[in-house]
Amino acid sequence: MTKNIRVTKEFSFEMAHALWNYDGPCRNVHGHSYKLFVTVTGTPVEDMNNPKNGMVIDFTDLKNLVKKEIISVFDHSVTISSQQDSERTEACRTMFGNTVVVDYQPTCENLAADFASRIKEKLPAGVKLHSLRLYETATSFAEWYASDNE
């Protein structure tokens, strides 16, 4: 019997950002405690001789992929847009050290889309990224769904 199953893993990390040319207080460097939920979909392995029998993906494999592609890059960083002038970019690098410069406005929405692109092609064969939910605060989040982006 073929069954499609969704598997979700939760991650958390700390990140600061500043929104270039924004007209509110988020134009200033400020930080959040992010929660990231990554949901993949696939058919569980049906092979009694396979150590991954019954799994869509080993949670450890998903954890290692997300840690490598997202958490190790963004955790305890200051993320800013490449549209910001070079003087401010250098000031961030000098002041904060771990500064990530992205080619988009680092909003929750754009970060979610970026994170999806960083991991969807690196999943094992037969496993697809279904959705990604990124909480910027306890009550605010952005979601990316594969079905919305095909």
Q: pLDDT band at 26, cuts 50/70/90?
A: confident
Q: Which of 14, 30, 46, 76 is catalytic?
A: 76
pLDDT of residue 27: 87
pLDDT of residue 65: 98
pLDDT of residue 2: 67
Q: Does the pLDDT value for residue 150 go beyond 90?
A: no
Is residue 32 annotated as a catalytic residue, yes or no? no
Q: Which of 17, 92, 130, 136 is catalytic?
A: 136
| 39-94 pLDDT, tens digit each | 999 999 999 999 999 999 999 999 999 999 999 999 999 999 999 888 889 988 99
Q: What is the DSSP string of 51-85?
A: TTTT-SS-HHHHHHHHIIIIIHHHTTEEEEETTS-
15 within 8 A of 43, measured Cβ to Cβ: no
Domain locations along the chain = 5-148
Is residue 76 annotated as a catalytic residue, yes or no? yes
**Cα separation, 26 vs 107, whole angstroms:** 10
Is residue 136 annotated as a catalytic residue, yes or no? yes
* Residue whose entry in the numeric block shows the structure tokens 């997300």: 66
Q: What is the mean pLDDT of residues 100-106?
A: 96
Q: Does the pLDDT value for residue 112 go beyond 80?
A: yes
Q: Does the pLDDT value for residue 1 go beyond 80?
A: no
Q: Map residue 147 onto helix, strand or coil.
A: helix
Q: Cα separations (Å) of 66 from 11, 14, 83, 94, 97?
A: 8, 15, 27, 28, 22
Please state which CATH class domain 5-148 belongs to: alpha beta
Residue 126's H or E segment, with its range, is: none
Q: Which of 10, 14, 26, 90 is catalytic?
A: 26
How many helices (H) does the chain have, and how many strands (E)? 4, 6
